[in-house]
Every structure is written in structure tokens, then in C-alpha cells.
Chain A
């Protein structure tokens, strides 16, 4: 089904990837920690290394919970698929796309 309208109705997405240049939006969810009401959203280059992404984006955010220990996250998944990320892998290489969801557990 689509919109019933009085005129042609076709507009581009306001969040499409090209609006972010070489970057993309990435969601990260700490599963099972109710201190975080939702996943977080980051803007990160597709070519960013996993090591940088985790150290520069995930860790400072997760440290909102003072009990967070950056050595502990595990069980990483990208859009539901298990991954074992190495620090030198790029986000793109890990299969992280625009508005993908990365989850972990502790």
C-alpha cells in the first residue's frame, strides 16, 4: 500500500546515507542493562577501525554507567549476526551499514 494523495507523492529520505558524506549512522545497544533506556546513535566513518570506534565512541557512552569496564563487553552482533571484531577491521568490513545495530552484552 502507499500514500493516497492529491498529487504525485515522492520525496527523498531525510536521513539517507549520502547526507552524511563518507560517514554513516550506527546504533549501539548494551543488551540487558536497564540503565540505558535505548540504543545510542553515533555518526562514524565507514572506514573507521573497530578499535577506534569502540575506544572513541562506545566506551565513553557506556561509561555513563560507572560500573562499565571497557574490557568486558562481548557477544557482539551486527544486525543480529554474531561477529568477533578485531581492532583493525573497519566498520564497513564488519558489515556495519547505515543505521545498522551493533549489540553487546556483559
Chain B
């Protein structure tokens, strides 16, 4: 048999396996394909540049897993956790496991749904591959980080925490919003806005950070997952172009979704900003630098001029994201520090060299706006205390982040926006979040707002210890890093190592 070209193989192994329904009509077979208003005239025009076929998919995925498991074994066998930059580095991984890994599982489920409900054979196959990828990501992330659970706090019970803990309602509700949309909006939300526009901001600094802080297993699973991510980004871009090319009437719908989902996704990445600038003992690049490179340069200067051909504009409210790049990580980490008593990771005042790094990377904002907070927190600590926000925060009804963001141009004035719906007041952190609510108030009035739920008595009881018990948090999971269980163990292990060396 002559060898088929890649194009032929792709055609035979994906498109040719599709069929025309005979005993049910198309509307009955694909009941979710039209209600969003997207018009598709010819599904065969869908492009899959990867030309991935099922045999090569399995071949390469198996190889990726083999490489990862070899690394996990050797790291565990060599007590690799002791060569991390510092135990506090793992706070970033705890946040990742609690906040992001469950989203991979959600994505797995929902791409399986797309694999059922998209009408074309090409996109259905791409969605099935991605569904399997996302399951692999969830499993390998859990498996990789479980190695640390033996030695460090905060890694247990991540799944329960994801469903219950206040700051994790931010990523959880983001994904709930996406999976409760139709198939085309989901593609625009997750494949395009989250994965194409912003995934680099999430994963690339994260993996580079793992590499730089001695976390070989995380770096390896990151690379392993990210190699799939390139395919996911492609699905995101192709799906947008496909919708735009199929019918001019799709353009305003897609634009509206890009406007919504850019802002939703951007708000979720706020947690990444604080991780990059504050949670890594050895820092690779600042949030600001990553934002300029991966978003402003690659997307605003590269992608959007390309999409303007179809009449697509840069996302509404994008300017505010650009304006916030000097503020975001500082505002978010201060919040995590302030509510550290209710978190599944520890926080602390940055050391002197870290403060200098922040000054150097944020010359326009750090010394005048944020350094004074840390200096005051330090004075409180010197007096034997620890600064905490002794109360519950006001939350944004859309993104569910505490309303910590400031007025454009006034970095000391907390922004307050609100709307009224059926006689009830709803509060928002920004014009972007208010705009999203106002488009679909029926959706967001249902939000499970952690603070409101605590006050309704739905979270274990009225006191902080009761709520923390309901969250599943244990001694050592949260609070201050200095003096924590993790820090004490870390010092003990390293002193033991040193004295062993000395005694030889």
C-alpha cells in the first residue's frame, strides 16, 4: 500500500469517519449548534493545521508521559524536594493545584461535550483530542504535586478547597460561566480568549519559575502540558477564524464574546500576577514584563492587526488591563497577605532583596504606593503582631475577586461600580465586570458569592474557625510563613543535612 501524505491521512482518519445522519434530522442530532446565533454554512471549511490523526496522537502523548514519569521517579528517589529554592516556593504550586488543576478537569468534561455537539467531523476530533489532553493534564498535575504532599502542608484536599474556599471561587466561577454557555461561546471563551490570548502569561512564566526554583517535576509536567497547549491555541484561533469566515453576521457576536471573555480571563490571571512577583523566591520575570511581551507585543501588536481583516477590534476594556500592569500584582498579593488566615497557602512580608527587586521592576509605583504598606506590616510584626484584614471583603459580583481594584488613573481610590437588577443592588470592581453583568444579569445574579454564603450560614458556621474547618484547612496550611510548619520543617531538614555533612 502506498504511504499516504499527512493531508490524505488526516482526511481519511478524521473527515472520512464523519457521516450524514439518515434516520434523524440534523437539528435533532445537534440540538445545541444554532441557538447562539452563529451561522455555519460549510463545516468542511474548518482547518486543522496540526493535521493530527489518532495514531500519531497516541504515539506522541505516550512518549510525553514516559518522559514525565521518568523525571518524577528520579526526583522522588533523590529527595529532590530538598533542593528547591525555598519551602515558600511551594505556595505558588498550592495555589496552582487548588485553583487551576480542577479547571483542567472541567475542561476535559466540556471538550467531551464539544466533541459530541459540534457539527463538523474535523472540530469534533480536535475537541476529543483536547478532552483527553485535559484529563491527562489534571492527572499529571495531581500526580506530580502529590510528591510534595508527603512533606508539605496545603496540598491535601485541593478539590474540596476548590469548591469552597473564597479565593478559589474566582477560577471556579469563571469556568462555570464558560461551561454553561453554548459550544461556540465556550470555544471563544476558553480556546481563544483564555488559551490563545492569555495562556502564555499563565504557563510560560510558571514553568520557567519552576525551572528557576529547582522544581524539576513541575517544570516537566508544565512543558508536557504546554506542548498540548500549542494545539489548543491553534484550535482557539482556528475556531474564531472559522466563525468569522462563515458568515458576516457572526462578526458582532464573536466580538461581543471576545470583549466579555478577555476581561473574564484577564481578571483570573490576576492570581498569576501575584504569584510571579511575590510567591517565587527566585523570580524569572515580572508580571509587567510578561504582560508586555506575551500580551501587548504578541496579541495587541501581532494578533489583533491580523484579525482586523475580519472587522474584529481589540477587546473592549483592554486599555484598563494595560494601565493596570504596574499595579495588579501588588494589589492582589497584598489582598492574599491580608486574608492569609483563610488561605490554603502561606504569605509573608517580602525580604529586603525582594523589596529592592520590586522597586527596580516597578519604578513608577512600588516605592510610592506599595512599599509603605509592607513597612507598616513590618512595624506591626516587630511589635509582635501580624497584619490581617479582620473581617470579610466586599466581592465583585462578576469576577468574585474582592473589590480591590482602583479607579483608572487614581491608584489609591478603590473603584466602586454597581447596577440594579429587579430592585437589588449588585457591586462590581470595574467597568469591565459591570459591563459583563449588564449583558446577562440573569446569569450572574445566581453567583455563589463566598462572603454572602458565609453570612447566610452555609459555610460551616458563623465563626472563622468553623468556616476554615468547613473549607478543610488544617494547621499549617495558611497564615504567616515565618514560623509556619513548612518553614520549621525546612530549616530542620537542612540543618540535619548540614550536620550530617559536618560529622563526616
Give chain A's interface residues, CB within 8 Å of chain B: 1-6, 9-17, 19-20, 25, 27, 29, 31-32, 34-43, 60-61, 63-64, 66, 97-101
Contacts and interface: CB of A to CB of B under 8 A. Distances in A.
A3 B445 contact: no
B110 to A, nearest CB: 15
Given A13-B445, A32-B412, A60-B390, A37 B402 contact: yes
Contacts of A97: 425
A17 B445 CA distance: 12
Nearest to B426: A99
Given A14-B449, A20-B455, A3 B389 contact: no
B380 A66 contact: yes
Contacts of A34: 334, 369-370, 372-373, 412
Contact of A11 (B376, B446, B452): B446
Given A12-B445, A14-B452, 15 more contacts: A4-B182, A9-B442, A13-B421, A13-B445, A15-B447, A16-B424, A20-B456, A29-B416, A34-B373, A35-B376, A37-B331, A37-B334, A40-B394, A41-B392, A64-B389
Contacts of B404: 37-38
B390 A10 contact: no
17 contacts: A1-B440, A11-B445, A12-B446, A14-B452, A20-B456, A29-B394, A29-B416, A34-B369, A38-B394, A39-B414, A40-B394, A41-B392, A61-B389, A61-B390, A61-B391, A99-B424, A101-B416
B446 A3 contact: no
B320 to A, nearest CB: 18
Nearest to B389: A64
A84 B85 CA distance: 55
A51 to B, nearest CB: 19
B451 interface: yes
Interface string B248-289: 000000000000000000000000000000000000000000
A42 B361 CA distance: 37
Given A37-B404, A41-B395, A3 B31 contact: no
B408 to A, nearest CB: 17
Nearest to A57: B391
A42 B427 contact: no
Interface residues of B, number: 56
Interface string B9-50: 000000000000000000000011001110000000000000
B448 A14 contact: yes
A105 to B, nearest CB: 11
Interface in B433-457: 439-443, 445-449, 451-453, 455-456
B403 interface: yes
A65 B393 CA distance: 15
Q: Which 6 pairs across A and B sit closest by C-beta, in order of nearness?
A: A39-B394, A13-B445, A61-B391, A40-B391, A43-B455, A15-B452
Contact of B335 (A4, A5, A38, A101): A38
A39 B403 contact: yes
Given A1-B440, A99-B427, A40 B445 contact: no
B388 interface: yes
A10 B442 contact: yes
B446 A37 contact: no
A9 B452 CA distance: 23
B456 to A, nearest CB: 5
